[in-house]
Amino acid sequence: MAGHDEKIALLTQIEQRLRWLSSWMVHNANNIRDKRDGLKVGGHQASCASMTAIMTALYFHALRPQDKVAVKPHAGPVLHAIHYLLGEQSRDKMERFRGLGGVQSYPSRTKDTIPVDFSTGSVGLGVAVTAFSSLVQDYLIARGQLAETDAGRMIALMGDAELDEGNIYECLIEGYKHDLRNCWWIVDYNRQSLDATTADRMFRRFDDIFETCGWRVVTLKHGKLQREVFDRPGGKALEDWIENCPNADFAVLTYLGGAAWRERLNRDLGDAKETADLIAAHDDAALARLMTNLGGHCLETLTQAFDGICDDQPTLFIAYTVKGYGLPLAGHKDNHSGMMNTAQIESLRDDLGILPGQEWDKWAGLGDNLAARLDAFIHDTPISHKLSERSAPAVVVPDQLPVPEGAIQSTQAAFGRVLFDLAKSDEPLADRIVTTAPDVTQTTNLGAFVNQRGLFRRQELADVFHKARIPSTQKWAATNAGQHIELGIAEHNFFLLLTALGLSAPHFGTRLLPVGTVYDPFIARGLDALNYGCYQDARFLLVGTPSGITLAGEGGAHQSINTPLIGMGQPGLESFEPAFADEVALMMRWAFDHMQADEGSSVYLRLTTRQTEQHVRTDTHWKANALAGAYWLREPGPGAKAAIAYCGAVAPEALAAWEALRDDVPGLGLLAVTSPDRLHRDWSRARAARWNGGTYAPSHLETLLRQLAPDAGLVTVLDGSPAALSWLGGVCGHRVSPLGTDRFGQTGDLVDLYRTYRLDTNAIIDAMAELFL
């Protein structure tokens, strides 16, 4: 075991090596590797350099095996350099940084091969998700599925510009409500973003905001060297000068170097003899080193600060840094995407004693003895013994879920009833379901499940209305045994919680099956966070309801138009839009299975409050086709010249139009499209197989549409963007007359709105006539 001074010396060598490897990785990609397209590869040498001391102190001193870290996106190369030193990353992948098969631009759970706890990239989201991951950890501890002694810290390494992101503050409020703990956020406070320096007045406000929300704030402004000088005669004046120096001035002086520091300090402080003597005691290089010896670059300061936190209170570390520290780019206004030129990086290489051709060697220039000591030191750190992510056993899903009874019902009500029936059962599946909603629990039919299974809170919360014997349909008591996590109305929080719940299997070894409901039009409000969750392969069931202009009385602000296209275009998300209750039960059962499959994904159901007459089934053959994306509700006749293809809530109008037209259009088919998304993916796969020389098999939709005549026409209709179905004609070359909504809705009853937006039976009949004119 290394003594304190030796440990700091070893950490210093590691920090320098991380700065070098991250810088060289970016330089190699942009200046040495062949560029076949002539485009800039990119990378962020300055953003990496400002983080190397923080990440060294965290990974090789403070981090425990059970802790999890979200790394600032632009510091991704530092993370890969760390795993290179740990023997978990290859030189080949680092040489292909931002190239096919190489290190990704930003840390990615699904694309990188090193251990990545949280994907980052869309700034702010990787920070906030750590808070929700901590909440999931508490949920598992409360249910006895994780030992309290195994609780880890959920840590985010963030750039100060990420503090501009609104979702950070939405998360703070939700965390306060749920008594957040075991969460560290470490700010690389370099005070430079892409366009400008950070406003000087913001520093104290961050303290106020976080402390108000129950966080401890630890500010690391000065390094050990600065603190020692401040204690000397004349040092207090220097400390006060640094304290009041504008951020922009500090950046300029850092870039200009020791002579500029001397001129400015002598001008401002030279009248005080003791301070002037203190300045004169340092040559230019030493003065520059002193003035940039900030807390975020001092390993003594960082390790002491991390060691000082021994409880579970959420903690914000504000670590003052210099952007580009240790590089010739340090402090320059344009250093965010700026890069060292060849002469500059070769000078850095020479300063480190690295010979040409040894740039990728882990410990080049250090000598065999020191290299062996560093390898042994790294091997002894807790992070080197971090367990691989665990695979959680699958939760048994029943062969079928009961179909809710009722001749007339909505898909939203059917969803709620399926969940309620599960909640009352003793199925193992029911115990692993966790529900959540952004303040729309009751209006999206989660209420019955919550009443049966309860609200989750680490600290019990009584239902005051119930105690006062005031009648209510809601049982709103909260305990640590509950299975619904209540959220405020912020959709980013909603999707980030679904993400954290959906990663419980790899993160904590216990599989949860999250179900989240949100008003369908407001999926767009949290779309970045939804994409973020899908990108890192989190698994959850998303229910968007009510949808479309079918939500007639609510008006355009609450009527969704483009969500079918979101469902089609979002990778990692399989989407369905059922029309009948038995379809809902079928798709929910499939979703719970698919969410657990190795090649599975999250699932999205687009539902409605419109009550419709249920279809009477005579067989079960339709089920497999419905899961594949479409089935014939009314089979077309041989060589039929036309078909109506509908999706979701407009089933009654489509069926009525089919009844009105079937005598005039012999063999008319009625195609129930349950998933434009799955149909399109399957069609794309079939075409790709043909192009790539694979085994070609017709897609499911091709097989269905080939029952029509080659010159047949299709009328497509859905309560959403017509583009979600209009592409059907391209599969087999059929003419298409598409119906749907591509304008903002308005208030009215369903009859008026369906007539106005051409979704009623007459519109379908007119569209069919258009095909034959």
pLDDT in tens, 159-183: 988 888 999 999 999 999 999 999 9
pLDDT in tens, 648-657: 999 999 999 9
Q: Please give the Cα distance from 430 to 420 (Å, whole number).
A: 10
Q: Rounded mean pLDDT of 423-449?
A: 94
Q: Are strands 708-718 and 154-159 parallel, antiparallel or unpaired?
A: unpaired
- Who contacts 447 (Cβ-Cβ below 8 Å, separation ≥6)? 416, 441, 473, 474
What was the pLDDT predicted at 207? 85
In angstroms, how far apart are the furthest CA atoms of the chain?
105
CA 274 to chain centre: 53
What was the pLDDT predicted at 552? 82
Q: Rounded mean pLDDT of 402-431?
A: 96
What was the pLDDT predicted at 429? 97
What was the pLDDT predicted at 689? 84
Mean residue pLDDT of the chain comes to: 93
Taking alpha carbons only, the member of 726, 564, 700 closest to residue 628 is: 700
CA 379 to chain centre: 32
What was the pLDDT predicted at 469? 65
Distances (CA, A) of 734 to 318, 466, 641, 707, 722: 62, 60, 10, 12, 16
Residues of the chain with pLDDT > 70, as a percent, come to 96
Q: Please give the Cα distance from 272 to 139 (Å, whole number).
A: 59
Give the angle 523-527-529 at the CA atoms, nearest 5°.
120
Q: Rounded mean pLDDT of 689-716?
A: 90
- Who contacts 681 (Cβ-Cβ below 8 Å, separation ≥6)? none
What was the pLDDT predicted at 462? 63
Residue 201 has pLDDT above 80, yes or no: no
What was the pLDDT predicted at 541? 98
Residue 196 has pLDDT above 60, yes or no: no
Per the CB < 8 A criterion, the answer to whether 49 and 72 are in contact is no
